[in-house]
Chains A and B, each alone.
Chain A
Amino acid sequence: MPAAQKNLSPLCQLPAGATGRVWELKGDENFCQRIREMGFNEAALVTKISGSTTSLCQINGTRLALSHAAAMNIIVEKLPSAAR
């Protein structure tokens, strides 16, 4: 499915309790590299727990806190609840 038809948003805008699939990583190389190494690979599933300024989310069983700027650079595709 083309990107335009997908339900894409930055991680910080994903509602609490929703799960998304990592679609794209933006920002500088170092940031992308580090978060990839921490499991934020394209296609990884991430669940938002809480937060709008600072995001709290769960990925691969790990709970991670991300600053607003970091969460803005992670573009996720929101999955319908049945697909999780």
Chain B
Amino acid sequence: MADLPSHISLPGKKRPHQANERTPVYALVGNPNCGKSTLFNALTGLKQKVGNYPGVTVEKKIGETYSQHGKPIKLIDLPGAYSLAARSPDEAVTRDVLLGRRADTPQPDRILCIIDASNLERNLYLVHQLLDLGRPVILVLNMMDLALKAGLQVHASRLEKELGVPVIACEAINGKGLVDLKLAMSRVDLSLAKHRWDVPAQVAPAVAELQASLTDSDGRSPLVARAEALLLLTDFDTVRVAGSTPLSPRTHEILAHWQKRWEGEGTDWAGTLVASRYDAIAKICTDVVQSSGEVGPSISDKIDAVVVHPFWGWLVFGGIMTALFISIFTLAQYPMDWIDAGMSALGDWVKRSMTPGELRDLLTAGVIGGAGSVLVFLPQILILYFFIGLLENTGYMARAAFIMDRLMSRVGLNGKSFIPLLGSYACAIPGIMATRTIEDPKDRLVTILVAPLMSCSARLPVYLLLIAALLPTDAIFTKVGIMIAMYALGTSGAFGFAWLFKRTLLKGKPPMMIMELPPYRLPRLRDIALHMFERAGLFLRKAGTVILGISIVLWFLTTYPKLPDPAATSTQQIAHSFAGQAGHLLEPMIKPLGFDWRIGIGLITSFAAREVFVNSMGVVFGVEGADDDTTPLRDALRQATWPDGAPVFTALVCITLMVFYVFAMQCVSTLAVVRRETNSWRWPLFQTFYMTGTAWLVCFVIYQTGRALGY
């Protein structure tokens, strides 16, 4: 018999309670859309830590809850998965943690598996694989209310008897059944499942050989080795992620041998294994589920009749997207103004409290000015996450992806790419992180490559300033028209490049999207708020570390070397600084686009964050408080001239500069995330080259054509 974890006993054998028990680690597992996050939040509340699995952009969520006896229980919320045969990096992390393949995460002692009672058969497939692992499992039978509405009577006690593991009926969304669940989780002596699954006889020798190799050469316990052997035989082209311990050469050799043999025989053992699991599940379901016959259309059916309708569906989608953008650009303005005012007041207070000097400049211009110019976007990001949370929580997001699939398929992507691209309107970083649910690696890479072309909220202040310089009067409709044109240009660029990449560089088969559309639910504001605060925390951490660091470096580059003449103006000083010298160095390259060295400084500093352009122009043109009120800066830009007296910021240059910002890759943080996501510098470098190259080329054509036409 295998060595079992200290707190596990075999059926029938009770173990006396020990005072110094180790904190048990539970893994929370389940299919997507089965209420896993709601249960995790209900169990752990705010006691959560959100991070990343090292080397892979998959979120690692660990929370803490307490047993009925007040003892701590650690809970790892694993990404949703339909099967342990992983098809995406998310699912690969779930598989690797459960199999103990990740050195950065403790192998869970116990498994808390949540299943959707209204769709028992499919959910039991994952349970069936989990029971193979030989770990104590508690099943949470969630959404019992939905099952009843669908005319299904699910008998938890019969399921418990069939599987030999505790089964707790629950409605996580209303908190029903949580006390019973806590009681089950508090049990010291959880017994192992009586689940015994006879694999087809023809596969048994392969399973035995692989199991022996995994035990001897890969250090797995015999039970985990058997489960992993079964998995390897059904998962030939397995998804590997960074941080996952590779298999030993001997196991690889055995696996290759069996795969080759079966291929030669033309036998589809992988399909047979799935079918035999489903046969076993069907037998269980016959005893456990009673159907009350035909029921009328559900609320979800009625809503879907409109929401996924070929005509009304687009109207609903358009309405929601309009509401989203109006909220981002209007509602967010109030808190943004407050943050702006707060940062200005803080800067003024530091100025008043300290004597003039380098340190004061560093604090006001570098730290407060730099990080403040980024912090100001927090309300927009929060609003976007509120909407994304609301759409996901209600079940609409999957419908939006369904509606967009038709459009996305024209460029070779599928509806799943829509969610990351939508997120990229706020910031490409969460957008890129959201690509992890896309199974096809090529589709995922194409989505990552084009996501930064969606105009993020950091471009907004640049557009606003340049539109103000272009149209100083109150031509509100023209201004809005230009703004929409910039967003449309970026979106078309993203779709155009996706089309190009899918036909050249990352040629692939037509997208095979299969996506579950969960039933509609009333949103849980607590879950949405938790999600928003999590994101706000991550954003603030980024603003407080990376962006703050870069802001300080930029301050240094725009401040040093100092001019010997103390009476020199800030414009003269910046021209003399390292950044000024770089701007001059850059000028020959950007002059064909109509940009001078001062714009060059703005372009360089934009690498910290695009919105820093506004700040930089304020510094370059010696306008104080450019972030608070752009009117003086707008006037300064309109008065800026070339040495021959010709204006710099003509209408043509303003348009060209906006187009440059639409296409150019100017965000170090995004590049860092792309590097982490693709595990190589090749793709972020390619992204920088193709985006900035396109920006230059398009701007060159616009500017030179405009000049030729006399603008």
Partner-B contacts on A (CB < 8 A): 27-39, 41-42, 49-51, 53-54, 56, 60-70, 73
Asked if B175 is an interface residue, CB under 8 A from chain A, the answer is: no
Looking at chain A's contact residues, the main secondary structure is mixed
Q: Which residues of B contact A60 (CB under 8 A)?
A: 119, 121-122
Instruction: Given A27-B512, A61-B119, check contact A67 B271 (CB 8 Å).
Output: no
Contact B274 A37, beta carbon cutoff 8 Å: yes
Q: Which residues of B contact A56 (CB under 8 A)?
A: 304, 308, 402, 517
CB-CB contacts of B519-546 with A at 8 A, as 1s and 0s?
A: 1000000000000000000000000000
Contact A37 B513, beta carbon cutoff 8 Å: no
Q: Which residues of B contact A49 (CB under 8 A)?
A: 304, 308
Closest residue of chain A to B151 (Cβ to Cβ) is A61
Contact A68 B87, beta carbon cutoff 8 Å: no
Instruction: Given A36-B274, A36-B275, check contact A66 B514 (CB 8 Å).
Output: yes
Contact B515 A64, beta carbon cutoff 8 Å: yes
**Given contacts A54-B513, A67-B409, could you give 17 more A-B pairs where the C-beta distance is less than 8 Å?**
A33-B274, A36-B275, A41-B278, A50-B309, A50-B310, A53-B405, A54-B402, A56-B308, A61-B152, A63-B300, A64-B515, A65-B401, A65-B513, A67-B511, A67-B513, A69-B509, A70-B511
From 236 to 287 in chain B, residues with beta carbon under 8 angstroms from any chain A beta carbon are: 236-237, 270-271, 274-275, 278
C-alpha spacing A61/B118, complex, angstroms: 7
Residue of A30, A63, A70 near B517 (CB, 8 A) is A63
C-alpha spacing A19/B402, complex, angstroms: 21
C-alpha spacing A53/B404, complex, angstroms: 11
Asked if B125 is an interface residue, CB under 8 A from chain A, the answer is: yes
Q: Which 9 A-B pairs have the closest CB atoms?
A: A69-B510, A67-B513, A63-B517, A54-B405, A65-B402, A37-B83, A70-B512, A36-B274, A39-B122
Q: Which residues of B contact A69 (CB under 8 A)?
A: 409, 509-512
Residue of A36, A41, A42, A73 near B512 (CB, 8 A) is A73
Residue of A27, A29, A38, A42 near B236 (CB, 8 A) is A29
From 81 to 114 in chain B, residues with beta carbon under 8 angstroms from any chain A beta carbon are: 82-83, 85, 87
Contact B514 A64, beta carbon cutoff 8 Å: yes
Closest residue of chain B to A44 (Cβ to Cβ) is B278
Q: Which residues of A contact B518 (CB under 8 A)?
A: 63
Contact B516 A64, beta carbon cutoff 8 Å: yes
Contact A65 B405, beta carbon cutoff 8 Å: yes
Q: Which residues of A contact B308 (CB under 8 A)?
A: 49-51, 56
Q: Which residues of A contact B406 (CB under 8 A)?
A: 53-54
Residue of B150, B275, B515 near A65 (CB, 8 A) is B515
Q: Which residues of B contact A39 (CB under 8 A)?
A: 121-122, 125, 278
C-alpha spacing A28/B367, complex, angstroms: 54
Q: Which residues of B contact A38 (CB under 8 A)?
A: 82, 122, 514, 516
Contact B415 A54, beta carbon cutoff 8 Å: yes
Contact B150 A61, beta carbon cutoff 8 Å: yes
Q: Which residues of B contact A33 (CB under 8 A)?
A: 85, 234-235, 270-271, 274
Contact A68 B510, beta carbon cutoff 8 Å: yes
Interface extent on B, as a size class?
35 or more
C-alpha spacing A50/B300, complex, angstroms: 14
Contact B85 A37, beta carbon cutoff 8 Å: yes
C-alpha spacing A73/B509, complex, angstroms: 13
Q: Which residues of B contact A32 (CB under 8 A)?
A: 271
Instruction: Given A54-B406, A64-B514, A65-B514, check contact A34 B509 (CB 8 Å).
Output: no
Instruction: Given A32-B271, A33-B270, A53-B406, check contact A62 B512 (CB 8 Å).
Output: no
Contact B237 A30, beta carbon cutoff 8 Å: yes
Asked if B558 is an interface residue, CB under 8 A from chain A, the answer is: no
Instruction: Given A32-B271, A36-B275, check contact A63 B83 (CB 8 Å).
Output: no
Nearest-Cβ distance from residue A47 to partner chain B, whole angstroms: 11
Q: Which residues of B contact A68 (CB under 8 A)?
A: 409, 510
Q: Which residues of B contact A62 (CB under 8 A)?
A: 119, 122, 516
From 204 to 254 in chain B, residues with beta carbon under 8 angstroms from any chain A beta carbon are: 234-237
C-alpha spacing A63/B281, complex, angstroms: 20
C-alpha spacing A68/B121, complex, angstroms: 26
Asked if B414 is an interface residue, CB under 8 A from chain A, the answer is: yes
Asked if B398 is an interface residue, CB under 8 A from chain A, the answer is: yes
Q: Which residues of A contact B152 (CB under 8 A)?
A: 61
Instruction: Given A30-B237, A56-B402, check contact A63 B304 (CB 8 Å).
Output: yes
Contact B415 A65, beta carbon cutoff 8 Å: yes
Q: Which residues of A contact B234 (CB under 8 A)?
A: 33
Residue of B87, B118, B405 near A34 (CB, 8 A) is B87
Contact A31 B512, beta carbon cutoff 8 Å: yes
Closest residue of chain A to B234 (Cβ to Cβ) is A33
Contact B122 A67, beta carbon cutoff 8 Å: no
C-alpha spacing A60/B236, complex, angstroms: 27
Contact B512 A67, beta carbon cutoff 8 Å: yes
Q: Which residues of A contact B415 (CB under 8 A)?
A: 54, 65, 67
C-alpha spacing A60/B123, complex, angstroms: 11
C-alpha spacing A64/B399, complex, angstroms: 10
